A and B are shown apart, each in its own frame.
Chain A
Amino acid sequence: MAGHQTYEEQKALVFKGLMLLGVITIVEVVIALTAKGHLIHGVKFTEGFGHYLYMLLMIGFSLYKAYFIIFFFMHMAYEVRGLALSVLLPTALLVWAIIAFFQEGNSWGNRRELIKEKNEERVKPAGQPQGYILSKDDFRNTL
């Protein structure tokens, strides 16, 4: 690991990491509770632009925590470039996985609505023949 760091510097990094991760987590939870309307009466971001902003913020904070853990707690920052790239680059595949599967999920959702609509659709009153079903006699007559 970090051969170029002194022991004191290493210990300082640990303290910095603890503070950073702790403070970010507290900020995340405070923002989450505010956005969901638990902290300030009448303030709520559960829909529309505010909700998107909230989600982006949470994802951003989490990615930063992940970056800090990987690069400083797991010492990726001090490994040779090739090692870092061979571990980190493959995760870029997940970007497409996220786009594709969320798109797919949306499509399932739309279909669920469609199926529900179709299930509740009422057909024409009974007595009138539907579609192209031929009775046995009709079938014989056409032969």
Chain B
Amino acid sequence: MADTSVAHAHESHHPEHQDDTNLWEGAKEPFKASYGKLMMWYFLLSDAFTFAGFLIAYGALRFSMPTWPEPDFVFASFPFVNAHWPLIFVTFMTFVLIFSSVTMVRAVQEGHRENRNGVVFWMLLTILGGATFLGSQAYEWTTLIVKENMTVSQNPFGRHIADGIYLNADGTEAKKEDGSPKTFHKGESYLLHKHEGSFDIPKVKYTTGAYAGQVRDASFGPKAFGALFFFITGFHGFHVFSGVLFLTIIMINAASGLYAARKNGYEMVEKMGLYWHFVDLVWVFVFLVFYLL
């Protein structure tokens, strides 16, 4: 459409943008991008390194532990349903972010056409997506903290290091409800439950591995798991939160006609779009590292 190219043509007729080009000495924009857009890219690059550092720390610590909680065991709750649905809720969260990314692309496209109502409409949907994601994360965190007692310094999600059998308090071998012995296998997950304020730690007798024949307490899972989970998903959630704030501000500005007056194809919306897609991009890797691998 013709208006796309007109909107895109250039922003030099506006005095405010003229200042920008003066900042870029030489009267020629490097990489044919405005100052703001280029700096947004470099900010995102630095942010990518921050996230990569966190995720690599997760990998290094995970490699250093003899056991690590299974994601499909840890992340299996779903709102209003008392069921074990592994990974279904985080898949929903992923879809929320994908949708809000798509609506953001639409907002940027409408901006290039200088369509104010279109920008505001699609940005509003994007904000709703971001808020839904934050709400979902709040649910996920609440379940882990309140119901399952995981904190930054305590991780009740463990995995058995060898085959064995659970023991009763009196030292006899525990039985399941149908009378068969309550055995477990190497690598099986368990969650330690709290009972009246303190953890109920069952005794186990191993039948294989280095501790074969010994009676031991079932141990907590690696502490680092809780700290890494809350820190990394929290840092990502903080990005979503600040994204929602800035989206709201920019949507109000767009609605007020501020960007229409600048006649630069709603460049501010485009810069915000870069940030918002980056948040989705980071989630791709958080999803991979925490939930899939």
Beta-carbon contact of B91 and A25 below 8 Å:
yes
Asked whether any CB of chain A lies closer than 8 Å to the CB of B41, the reply is: yes
Q: Secondary structure of the B side of the interface?
A: helix
Q: A106 near B: Cβ within 8 Å?
A: yes
Tell me the complex Cα distance, A26–B292, Å.
12
Given contacts A74-B274, A80-B32, A91-B45, contact A7 B4 (CB under 8 A): yes
Contacts of A11 in B (CB 8 A): 106, 109
Binds A, one of B123-131, B139-147, B190-198, B275-283: B275-283
Are B65 and A109 closer than 8 Å at their CB atoms?
Answer: yes
Whether B31 and A86, one on each chain, are in contact in the complex, defined by CB atoms closer than 8 angstroms, is yes
| Chain B residue at minimum C-beta to C-beta distance from A26 | B91
Query: For the side of the interface on A, what is the size category?
Result: 35 or more
Considering the complex, which residues of chain A in the window 12-30 have a beta carbon less than 8 Å from any beta carbon of chain B?
A: 13-14, 17-18, 21-22, 25-26, 28-29
For the complex, give the distance between the alpha carbons of A58 and B72 in Å. 15
Check B94 for interface membership: any CB of A closer than 8 A.
yes
Q: Which residues of B contact A113 (CB under 8 A)?
A: 66
**In the assembly, what is the distance between CA of A113 and CA of B66, in Å?**
8
Q: Inside 8 A of A3's CB, which chain B residues have their CB?
A: 4-5, 8
A22 touches which of B70, B98, B278 (Cβ 8 Å): B98
Given known contacts A6-B4, A83-B38, A97-B52, A105 and B101 CB-to-CB distance under 8 angstroms: no
Contacts of A105 in B (CB 8 A): 59-64
Q: Are B284 and A65 in contact (CB under 8 A)?
A: yes
Residue of B101, B102, B109 near A7 (CB, 8 A) is B109
> In the complex, which residues of chain B have a beta carbon less than 8 angstroms from the beta carbon of A77?
none
- B72 near A109 (CB under 8 angstroms)? no
What's the interface size class on B, roughly? Answer: 35 or more
Who on chain B is nearest to A38 by CB? Answer: B86
Q: How far is the CA of A1 from the CA of B61 in the complex (A)?
A: 41
Q: Is the interface of A mostly helix, strand, loop or mixed?
A: helix
User: Whole-angstrom distance between the alpha carbons of A90 and B5 in the complex?
Assistant: 32
Cβ–Cβ < 8 Å partners of A25 in chain B: 91, 94-95, 98
- Specify which chain A residues have a CB less than 8 angstroms from the CB of B252 in the assembled complex: none
Residues of A within 8 A of B88 (CB): 29
A74-B274, A90-B45, A113-B66 known; A69 vs B52 contact (CB < 8 Å)? no
- Cβ contact of A1, chosen from B45, B94, B270, cutoff 8 A: B270
Q: Answer whether residue A101 sits at the interface, using C-beta atoms and an 8 A cutoff.
A: yes
Q: Are A109 and B1 in contact (CB under 8 A)?
A: no
A94 with B52: CB separation less than 8 A: yes
Contact indicator per residue, chain B 99-114, by CB within 8 Å of chain A (1) or not (0): 1011011101100110
User: A residues within 8 A CB of B278?
Assistant: 74
* Bound complex: CA A18 to CA B293 (Å): 24
Task: Contact check, B109 vs A14: say whether CB atoms are below 8 A apart.
Answer: yes
A114 within 8 A of B: no
Residues of A within 8 A of B4 (CB): 3, 5-7
Chain A: CB-nearest residue to B60: A105
Contacting pair A7 B113 (CB below 8 A): yes
- A32-72 vs B, CB cutoff 8 Å, 1 = contact: the mask equals 11001010000000100000000100110010011001100
Q: Residue on A with the closest CB to B5?
A: A3
**Which A residues lie within 8 Å of B187 (CB)?**
46
Min CB gap A7→B, angstroms: 5
Q: CB within 8 Å of A: which residues of B? A: 1, 4-5, 8, 30-33, 38, 41-42, 44-45, 48-49, 52-53, 56-57, 59-66, 70, 72, 86-88, 91, 94-95, 98-99, 101-102, 104-106, 108-109, 112-113, 187, 270, 273-274, 277-278, 280-281, 284-285, 287-288, 291-293
Residues of A whose CB lies within 8 Å of any CB of B are: 1, 3, 5-7, 10-11, 13-14, 17-18, 21-22, 25-26, 28-29, 32-33, 36, 38, 46, 55, 58-59, 62, 65-66, 69-70, 73-74, 79-80, 82-83, 86-87, 90-91, 94, 97-98, 101-102, 104-109, 112-113
